[in-house]
Amino acid sequence: MNRRIKEKYLKIFIPLLLGVVFLLLIWLGYRLFFVKEKTFLEKIDKSVYASLTYEAIYGIHLNLKGTFDPPDNLEDIKLVLSNGKEDVNLPLELKEKDGYLEFVTSNFNNKGLNLETIPQGTYYLVFKGTINENNKEIIKYYSIENKSEYGNLDYYTLTKNQKNNKINIEWNTYEECPTLRFKIEETPLPENVYDITIDPGHGGSDIGATGKLNNIEYHESDLNLKVSLKLKEILEQQGYKIAITRTDDSYVNIYEPHGSATLANETKSKFNFAIHHNSFAYETDYLKGLEIYVANDIEFDFANILIKNIINDANTQISPKEIYQVAPGIYQRFFSEQDILEDEVQPSNKDTSMIYYYNIRELGGISTKSTNDGRYANLENGLIANPFNKSNNTTEPYLLELGYVNNESDLKNIVGNEEKYATGIANALKEYLEMP
């Protein structure tokens, strides 16, 4: 071949070869990322037997409720996140009702699927059934349709080694079959997303409870702030991104932006710690020690761990108070009939299954039965609606009453020891998150 022709061939041949390689790579990428997903979607039985009626994220947990009308020859059923190869099992409780099944991942808001534990990847929420067909066991996947008033959800995992996953939960359809896709991928935490919110109670003109020690008067608002700032410092050292409702002696609003009822949900925080100190109407040696106020419909695992660690690290004890007590040191104060009768707004939308304290009830949205839908707005108190009143993606709130400032031995233990209380709370969080 003559040299000029050879060069001419190379000029055409090399770009052509590069083009073919490029197309091959695109095709491979497509196979890897899309076809695998499509193959699993093709496996899903297109006759839909399950409906979702409720979905909510509360703290680090996702909870689902719905109904399942099983095919006749079903032998076993599991609720899983699956891509056809790996399954993440969801807890599942089934109850038979009029020939179909009611399902719930957990009756506790803070149980269900722990979102911190799902490995990165793309999954679909499906029922995985074992069917007996001619004495042969076969696996079938059944999809789920959305009959709830809620849609897609986003969740950012707690910061771990300076990294976060974003979990995108999205409704879609595939060949007219509804699908619920979970996509988990590493994402930098957006500027307005935080791990945990701390709310030092009171502040400004609202000094909270007061106590005296060696003729010095102590204000609850100051003590709350000292513990909160220490707690923020310790948790930040552990790598968490911490939001706080105040860093000085200023008044914090409730339902306005960055308020004590809104900041945790604005920042998609997984937990909210309202830090308080207690007092009793008259000086007493009887009432002292730690009280943790919790939300409705929860397991007390975390509350118990908080008590154990705070008592240990701050060298204190649980309160002997019996009213509202549901377990040693743990309190659930619901509205009483009397509270509801005295409600300023008639007709009241409160009932006795709802928590009395706004800094628990209003923070968990639908999970904690937030009542402030704005009906209080016209009152002289100027309260505006809770913007997260109907939210199904909220923080898990705790109200910590660390001790009685009008009990001398409690106050002695508190003043100057803010770091010990903060350490107890931080250690509890660590222990809870390491629970299997």
Q: Which is nearer to Zn ion, 201 or 397 (CB)?
A: 201
Q: Which is nearer to Zn ion, 181 or 276 (CB)?
A: 276
CB of 201 to Zn ion, least distance (A): 4
CB of 218 to Zn ion, least distance (A): 13
Q: Which is nearer to Zn ion, 246 or 276 (CB)?
A: 276
Contact 169, 182 (CB under 8 A): yes
CB of 173 to Zn ion, least distance (A): 50
User: What residue ranges bind Zn ion (CB under 5 A)?
Assistant: 201, 208, 276
Give the nearest residue (CB) to Zn ion: 276
CB of 184 to Zn ion, least distance (A): 39
Q: Which is nearer to Zn ion, 62 or 295 (CB)?
A: 295
Rg over alpha carbons for the chain, rounded to the nearest Å, is 27
Strand partners, 404: 278
CB of 428 to Zn ion, least distance (A): 20
Q: Which is nearer to Zn ion, 195 or 362 (CB)?
A: 362
CB of 158 to Zn ion, least distance (A): 27
Q: Which is nearer to Zn ion, 332 or 359 (CB)?
A: 359
- Containing 44, the helix (H) or strand (E) segment is strand 44-58
Half-sphere exposure of 79 (CA within 13 A, CB side): 25
Integer angstrom CA distances of residue 9 from 22, 324, 331, 426: 20, 88, 84, 71
| 416 three-class SS | coil
Q: Give the pairing of strands 136-146 and 44-58.
A: parallel
C-alpha to C-alpha distance for 226 and 34, rounded to whole angstroms:
53
Q: Which is nearer to Zn ion, 279 or 391 (CB)?
A: 279
| 134 three-class SS | coil
Residues 6+ apart with CB under 8 A from 306: 292, 398, 400, 424, 425, 428, 432
- Both tokens of 262, joined, read 């809104």
CB of 146 to Zn ion, least distance (A): 41
C-alpha to C-alpha distance for 97 and 38, rounded to whole angstroms:
34
C-alpha to C-alpha distance for 102 and 64, rounded to whole angstroms:
11
C-alpha to C-alpha distance for 217 and 210, rounded to whole angstroms:
7
Within 10 angstroms of residue 76's Cβ, the number of other Cβ atoms is 11
